Amino acid sequence: MSASHAKSAAPAYACLMWADELNVYAQLPSVNGPYVARFSRSEGGLSQALHHMGAVHIEHSGVPFQRAEIPSKALAQKGLTQNDREAARDVLKKIGIIS
């Protein structure tokens, strides 16, 4: 019988957390790799950390939230449209700068 074991029993959306004398830290997943968020080591800070962890669970348990693409005022003043931004993104993907 061939068997294997999991590296962790934690689900894929689990967050690593630790604390020091002043703060609580949470390593949260993000589009650009892990993000370490710092929260005050108090009831309010722990409440914020739990809120962010819940948001990570919701984001990874369903369809990810995609905010609407809105060009900045500076780009709009230069006459750039959303279509221009999408075309630039396609070029960057094609040459491998972004994925």
- Residue range 42-92, pLDDT digits in tens: 999 989 888 887 777 665 555 444 555 666 778 788 888 888 888 988 998
Residues 28, 37: contact at Cβ < 8 Å? yes
Q: Note the pLDDT of residue 41.
A: 93
DSSP H/E element including 23: strand 23-28
Q: Note the pLDDT of residue 59.
A: 58
List the chain domain ranges.
16-61, 68-99
**Residue 40 to residue 23: CA distance in whole angstroms:** 5
Q: State if pTM tops 0.85.
A: no
Residues 40, 50: contact at Cβ < 8 Å? no
Comparison of pLDDT for 4 and 16, the residue scoring more: 16
Comparison of pLDDT for 31 and 92, the residue scoring more: 92
Is the pLDDT score of 34 beyond 60?
A: yes
Residue 44 in 3-state DSSP? helix
Comparison of pLDDT for 13 and 62, the residue scoring more: 13
